A and B are shown apart, each in its own frame.
Chain A
Amino acid sequence: EVQLVESGGGLVQPGESLRLSCAASGFTFSTYWMNWVRQAPGKGLEWVANIKPGGTEKYYVDSVKGRFTISRDNAKNSLYLQMNSLRAEDTAIYYCARDGELTGDLFDYWGQGALVTVSS
């Protein structure tokens, strides 16, 4: 059974940093694209970043470029999101989501989410 479990959320002040983790199990993690998707309180879904299986390609939404870094450790079956210079508008539930095997087979499995609150 595919499982994605996020951790590392919490309350931070504006300008601070936080690192989210996503532990994957039930599939061969090293062969799948992985994503971070966020949802601000009461709002819709926003894709944040994704990363190729080998970690050589990474893409980001413009609003987080230069502040967030997606990475993975295939030996540990883990996905990460390093978030620096956090702003109030980054407050959201952050979901880890897997892409399927075929091109365009996006977000077939999701984690339960990790809440990040940026407030002074």
Chain B
Amino acid sequence: DVVMTQSPLSLPVTLGQPASISCRSSQSLVHSDGNTYLNWFQQRPGQSPRRLIYKVSNRDSGVPDRFSGSGSGTDFTLKISRVEAEDVGIYYCMQGTHWPPLTFGGGTKVEIK
């Protein structure tokens, strides 16, 4: 199974400042079709998860452009250019290249300092 490792576990951020979350996979996420199936999800307190980014860097409809995804192979990053209060929550990366099983990272908790 592909193991997804996120860091940090917790990320205190000042409002208006940038934030960066790392996600590493135990093997390359490049699929035989040439795509890389790495997604990012946000889970606000008390809510269901919501997808933010698919295939490394594609923002979902309605996702603010302060969120961006990048990376390749085994190393990926989610960046928030200027953190707002509504960004508080837990962020998960997930791989869909080598399955079953589909696997998630352990999560990164973003909170306001």
CB–CB B48/A60 < 8 A? no
Does B103 lie within 8 Å of A47, measured CB to CB?
A: yes
State whether A59 and B51 are in contact (beta carbons under 8 Å apart), knowing that A104-B37, A107-B94 are contacts in the complex.
no
**A106 and B54 in contact (CB under 8 A), knowing A44-B92, A45-B41?**
yes
Docked-complex contact B31 and A104, CB < 8 angstroms:
yes
Question: Which residues on the B side are within 8 Å of A104 (C-beta)?
Answer: 31, 35, 37, 54-55, 96-97
Residue B106 at the chain A interface, CB threshold 8 Å: yes
Q: Is B48 touching A110 in the complex (CB atoms < 8 A)?
A: yes
Contact of A61 among B31, B48, B90, B100 (CB under 8 A): B100
* A75-120 interface (Cβ within 8 A of B): 95, 100, 103-108, 110-113
In the bound complex, CA of A74 to CA of B96 (Å): 25
Residues of A within 8 A of B103 (CB): 47
B76 at the interface (CB under 8 A from A): no
- Of the candidates B50, B94, B102, the one having the most CB atoms from chain A within 10 angstroms of its own CB is B102
Q: Interface residues, chain B, CB within 8 Å of chain A?
A: 31, 33, 35, 37, 39, 41, 43, 48-51, 54-55, 60, 90, 92, 94, 96-97, 99-107
